[in-house]
Structures are given as C-alpha cells and as structure tokens.
Chain A
C-alpha cells in the first residue's frame, strides 16, 4: 500500500508526526551544539520526550512510557549529577565543543551518513504505508518477555547486575580512610 504526497498531508496523524518530529530534531540539534552544558542536557530531555511521544503515536505505549521513566526520569538525573560532580563549566562557555576544524569534517561525516542511509531507506521503502494498527497490549509484551524472550531478559538482568557492581567498584574511593 502506497501513499501519495498529497494524501500524506491530508492525514491528521501525519501533522501530529510533524509536530513531534520538529522538537525532537531541534532538541537533538541543540543537544550537540549548545554551549551551555546544562541546557544541552535539558535539550536532550526535549529530544527524548519527542521520541517517547512518537512511540506513543505508533501505539507502542509501553516502550514510550519506559523511555519517559527511564531516560527522562533516571538517566537525565544521572547526567545532571555527573555534571555537578565533575564541576563542568556552567553558564555560557565556548569550549564545550572542538574548534571548527574538527566540527566541519564531523558535520561532513554525519551529513554523508544521513544522506547515505536516507537514500537507502527511501529507495527501499519510498512511500510504503504503515497499516492501521492497534495499540500494543502491554500484557502481550509482558508474556513474551517471560516466555519467548526470557533468555535475553536474563542476560540483560545479569548485565545490569554487573553494571551495578562495576559502578560501585569504580566510584568508591580507594583511599582506605573509610572514616
């Protein structure tokens, strides 16, 4: 099933998509370019929030809310704590990025990456429509995780445990004082 450009703009869902895509991309853009470190991380919130909303619009409610909870709730806090503890330069500072002689080739690289993949995607899928869909029932995902995907699930749990132990081992002071 294909969609012509004119039909595409008639669909309300697509306007919602545009409204979500713009802040997502702008947030991402400011995340990687902002010269204020705290703002940069807060823009990341905007971008990830946009991504989460996109998941919701696709019907993947559980994934969307997980992104909100895990990323926006926990990971961003971690970032902010990291910034505070490492006493990163707060306020407007010009030295968060490398100089333009790094930025230009990097921009070139990213752009060519984007063009290449975008070209491939358009070539392959052009205007293939997504079928009308039902929101994914969370109970289905739960059942699948604990049956079909139980092994990856266990592996992930072990990785998380290892990360927990590793994080503690890395972050604790070895000065032996112990107070």
Chain B
C-alpha cells in the first residue's frame, strides 16, 4: 500500500513539475485540473483489466466479459468527459513519470491530454464500449470467450498507450502492443490454418513497416537528441536548420512507411482484408478506432513536421504521402466491387477510406484528415457490426447466401443503411461533411502550390463514385431480393442491436461538429487549442459549393446505377450470376438491354478490367513478391542444407575415404562427433590465422 501511495505521489509530483514546463501553453481558456492530471487512468485501466481477466476472468462473473466491459466503459466515460471539457474550455496537458535514467537519456512514460489524443480517447472509449457490448452477444458460447476479452482489452489498452504517448519510445511500445494483440485476435480461431496464415500475414506486413518506423524514429531522435514530440515539434516550429533538417527526408519517409503499414496503405494494405479472419467485433474495432487509425494518428502527431512551414523539413515527403493516399483510395475501392464476402467488401472499403485520410494529411489538411478518421470510426464500426449481425444470422460470410434480410432483420437493416449513407457521403450524414472537407482541402492545396493535389482531387471524386457503387451493391445483395441461405434468419438479440443503434446515431449526426461556415467546433478542438499540433493546417471556412454539388451528384448517380444493376436483379442467385456468365439466358438478356448496356458499358470495364487488373496486381504481383521472399528464404535454407549435406559431408566422406586408404590413422582420430566438430573449427581458426600471417 505504501508503495502504491508513493508511486501515486511521485506521479503527481512529476506531473506538477511538468505542468510548469508545459506552462507556456497555459493560455486563457485552457484548463487543467485533477481530471486531466489523472488521465493516465484511461491507459492503465484496460491494461490492468487484461491482466486481471487473464488470471481471474474464467471464474468471475460473465467469464471476464464484465471486467472488460467495465474497463472500456470507464474509458468511454472518461474520454467523453475530457471531450466535453475540451469542447467547452479547452484542455492542454502533458504529464510524465521518469521510469529510468540511463546516462543522459531519460526513459519516460507519459500521457498527452490535448485535442488530438482526447479525440482518440473518446473514439476508442465510445466505439470500444459499443463493440464490447456487442461482443457479449456475438461471442456467446465461444470456445475461448475469456481469452478473447483478454486480447481485446489488450488491443484497446495498446491503442491507448499509443495515442497517449508524448514520446516516440512509448508510441512504439503501444504500436507493438496493438500489433501483438491484433495477431492474437486475427488468429483467434487458430484451428483453421487459413486464419493462422492471415494472422501471420498481418504480423509480417506490419513488421516490415515497423522496422521502417523504428529506423525513422531513431534518425529523428538522434538528430533532435530527444524522443519527445514536444522537442521535435519545437525544432520544426522554430525552423532551425540542423541535424533534423539534414535528415528530414529519410526520417519522414521511414516514419511514413511505418504509418503505411498500420494504416494499410497501398501497397502494404494486403494484410487488412485477410485480417477479416478474426471474429467480427475485432474487425469492427480494428477498422474503426484502433490499429488502422494509428498511422493517420502518427501523421497527425507529427503534422507540423510534414506540413513544413519553414521548408526545411519533411515537405518533400508530403507529396509522397498524398500520392500514396490517392492511389490507395482509388485502386482499392474497385476491389470491393468484386468481393462476395461482405466483410471483405467493408475491408477494402476501409483501405480506400484510409487512403482519403492519408491523402488529406499529405495535402496539409490536418483537420480534414482527422475529421474523416473521427466520422469513419463510427460508421465503419456500425457497418462491421451490422455485417456481423447478418453473418450471425446466416452463418455465412458470402453475400450469395444472403438476400432479402431486411424483412427478417429490420434493425440491422436500417442501421446498416444509415452507415452506408454516412460512408458514401449523403447529406446530412457524417461522411458527407468529412469527405467534402477532404476534397475541398485537396482543391485548396492544388490551387496553392501543390500541383499533384489536383490530380488526387479527381481520384477522390472518382473514389466517391466507386464507394457509392460497391456499398449499393452490398446493401442490395444482402438485404434485398430473396433469401438464398439455409434456415430461417432471425434478428440478433438486444446485446447486438443496441450498439448498432448507438453507432447509428453517431454515424448520422457525428458530422455536425464541423460544418464549414456554420459551426466548426471540431477544428477548434483539434487544431487551435494546442498551437504545436495544428500548425499550418488549412481549414475550409465555407462550403466549396461547386465541389459539393459535383460530388453529391456523382454519388447519387452511382447509387442509381448500382441500384439498377443489383437492386432489381437481386431476386435470385441465378439471375445475378447471369452478369458474370453472360449469354446463358438470351431471352432474359434481350428483355434487359439496358442491363446489358450497364454491364458492357460500366460493370465489365470496372468489374472486369480495371478491378480484375487491380485484383490481379494485388494477388499476383504484391502477394507474389511476398511469397517470392518467403520462397527465396526457403530456397536459401535448402541451399544451406544441401551445402551442409553435400559439401560438408562430402568433405568429411572424402577425408574419411582418403585417410582410410592411407592407413586410417586420421579417421580413427575422431570418434566423438561433437568434439570432432570443435576440433575442426579450431583447425580452421589456425589455418585462417596462419593465412593472415603469411599473406
């Protein structure tokens, strides 16, 4: 007890001490207080819960679920309180505890409480709370129910460690915690090898990116002589030429590659669709609030570095970021069109939406990127949970086994539709405001010196078309037409439907916190409270009306086209397949020339050519590279083994034969094999040494 008390007092002391340091930010209207200072509880509670569940969960009430639920509920409440405080008064605080001093290097554990991290606390808390609630119903009767909530709490806790980090070291710790937890969760059903492969793939791809992140973090920390974000941003803000400006390109690029891995950017996105192997609540949390948002968050955290007002730092990387984001949002959207697995449709959709966020970051639109992250978290979690509800009822992931579910599952249907409208950006749902803001920022950046942004703007508008198309298809195939699966589907229980409704409310009105020209609270909370995070951000002051109408028009057109193709013909499986098979029912086809026009004019070019090409590229080239590397490693291992077998043994046998012929003295020398190896190695040492002396 003494230990705990002294630890707590140490924390408070350190926080007060640091509070003085951060005092320069204590502007009028910025508040702090005991609630803010104790915000570290947000990080600690889920992690402690994970440990407690691991040890006592199986015997506790609800087999550990209650503990997990209460801990994430605590985060949700605390996050909401902080969010409200930030919205009304503004919060800016950063505390830390010194864990160890190694020479001049101080290892710190800290917690940031500023607009950016508060938004993430709020997201992880609220979305996590609803997903945990849902998971109670979804995972009921699962073989590893308790273990699932251990990993799930660890997942949320790792993400909170990441977003609360005031320094790069802690960020990497959280980053890896999230990675490990995601590995455990994706491979939750490890009896099936496909799931294990998916978990491995996710882990490997992330590791490649993590290595780059680590290199980037070290370059950055060595050139600034500090791991703290404050110090790094300080150097950037003052625009001092120095070691950081010298290595800025490589540091920025490496850190961005790290972000690409976690945020599934093309061409490192391949792990995310496979990560669907985990239980659906995992997908919902992974795609909404945790894991994939980490990369965007990191770009936001280092935003002044990338926006590069002084022109000395990561400005060159910014163009790479916007291009990667643009390619991702455009190319992966098509992949969603050809999927039959409803979760994969949503997965590719997430990749595409992450592309929007990253592209916005690259265009210098800090608010727009994070705003889309904020709204996307709600509607994507909603869509995933809706898909999970459907899968729970149908016992299949494939949309060819679904259809007509709106009659059986009205709550799931209506919430799913709300999520869809939010995703494709129909006024006044959440996605409309955030996507519009991103496109407006692109336009602004293109008009103000970043030429490539104009090109990305076009891709973004086309991406909106594709988004609307595949979501229309998914809704039509799942909920309309006739049911094609087995048994009688039924609506999910209240544990699963209430979270859907909760998320549906957020998906509907979540965008209203940032309406250009009307109410721009979100911008204020994130960008202006902390002068060090939002520096250089461009925020649209009013709607860009031509853009709004173009985008909305294109989206509505896309929905209409999608509906014409999939809505009416979704009656039976056979008819829908006729699109793919073609010519099987000539009479029927003759009745629908209009459909054939759509098919030849739009569907086949998109679905047939581009999407297949992209899918082909995805599967053959990228997976080929990955597999090639694996195969190469196996070949090398084989080579080593055959070298071992043929060369070493050959030498040994040859030696044996030679000496056997010459009287067998030497051969009898070596009877104990291990010792023989040792002797050989020393003979080698001597030979090499003599060679060095002689030469």
Residue ranges of A at the interface with B (Cβ–Cβ < 8 Å): 98, 101-102, 105-106, 109, 112-113, 116-117, 120, 147-148, 150-151
Query: Contacts A98-B671, A101-B669 given: A109-B683 contact, CB under 8 Å?
Result: yes
If A116-B689, A116-B690 touch, whether A148 touches B672 (CB-CB below 8 Å) is no
CA A70 to CA B354, docked complex, whole Å: 58
Secondary structure type dominating chain A contacts: helix
Once the chains bind, are B103 and A147 in contact (CB under 8 Å)? yes
Q: Which residues of A contact B671 (CB under 8 A)?
A: 98, 102
Q: Which residues of B contact A117 (CB under 8 A)?
A: 689
Contact A112 B103 (CB under 8 A): no
Cβ–Cβ < 8 Å partners of A105 in chain B: 666, 669, 679
Q: How far is the CB of A99 from chain B (nearest CB, A)?
A: 8
The CA-CA distance from A109 to B679 in the complex, in Å, is: 8
Tell me the minimal C-beta distance from B88 to chain A in angstroms.
46
Given A113-B685, A116-B690, A147-B102, 12 new contacts (CB under 8 A)? A101-B665, A102-B670, A102-B671, A105-B669, A105-B679, A106-B679, A109-B679, A109-B683, A109-B686, A113-B682, A116-B689, A148-B103
Indicate whether B668 reaches chain A with its CB closer than 8 angstroms.
yes
* Chain B residues, Cβ within 8 Å of A150: 102-103
Residues of chain A lying within 8 A (CB to CB) of residue B690: 116
Chain A residues near B670 (CB-CB < 8 A): 102
Complex CA distance for A120 and B686, rounded to whole angstroms: 12
- The complex places the Cα of A120 from the Cα of B689 at a distance, in Å, of 10
Asked if residues B686 and A113 are in contact (CB atoms below 8 Å), the reply is yes
Q: How far is the CB of B681 from chain A (nearest CB, A)?
A: 11
Residue among B103, B672, B689 making CB contact with A98, cutoff 8 Å: B672
Write the residues of chain B forming the contact surface with A, with a CB cutoff of 8 angstroms.
102-103, 665-666, 668-672, 679, 682-683, 685-686, 689-690, 693
* Chain A residue nearest to B667 in the complex (CB): A101
- Residues of chain B within 8 A of A120, CB atoms compared: 689, 693
CA distance in complex: A102, B689 (Å): 24
| Cβ–Cβ contact B686 & A116, under 8 A | yes
Assembled-state Cα–Cα distance A106/B683 (Å): 10
Indicate which residue in B102, B672, B686 contacts A112 across the interface (CB closer than 8 Å). B686
Instruction: Give the distance to chain A from B69, nearest Cβ to Cβ, in Å.
Output: 35
Smallest distance from the beta carbon of B298 to chain A beta carbons, Å? 26
- A102 near B669 (CB under 8 angstroms)? yes
How far is B682's CA from A106's CA once the two chains are assembled, in angstroms? 10
Distance between Cα atoms of A151 and B103 in the complex (Å): 11
Bound Cα distance from A117 to B102, whole angstroms: 39
Shortest Cβ distance from A117 into B: residue: B689
Closest to A146 in B: B102
What residue of chain A has the Cβ atom nearest to residue B665's Cβ? A101
B-side contacts of A109, CB under 8 Å: 679, 682-683, 686
**Nearest A residue to B664 by beta-carbon distance?**
A101
Q: Which of A101, A113, A151 contacts B668 (CB 8 A)?
A: A101
Tell me, in angstroms, the Cα distance from A117 to B103 when the chains sit together.
38
In the bound complex, how far is the Cα of B102 from the Cα of A106, in angstroms?
Answer: 47
Leading 7 A-B pairs by shortest Cβ distance: A105-B669, A101-B668, A150-B102, A147-B103, A116-B689, A102-B669, A101-B669
CB distance from A61 to the nearest CB of B (A): 26
B101 and chain A: residue at smallest CB distance: A147
The interface residues of chain A lying within 8 Å CB-to-CB of B103 are 147-148, 150
**A102, chain B: closest CB distance, angstroms:** 6
Give CA–CA (A150, B102) in the complex, Å: 7
Closest to B676 in A: A102
Cα–Cα, bound, A113→B670 (Å): 18
**Which B residues touch A101, using CB under 8 A?**
665, 668-669
Q: How far is the CA of A112 from the CA of B255 in the complex (A)?
A: 54
6 contacts between A and B (CB under 8 A): A98-B672, A109-B682, A109-B683, A113-B682, A147-B102, A147-B103
Q: Name the CB-closest residue of B to A123.
A: B693
A13 to B419, CA, bound (A): 87
CA distance A102 to B672 in the complex (A): 9
Q: A147 contacts which chain B residues (CB < 8 A)?
A: 102-103
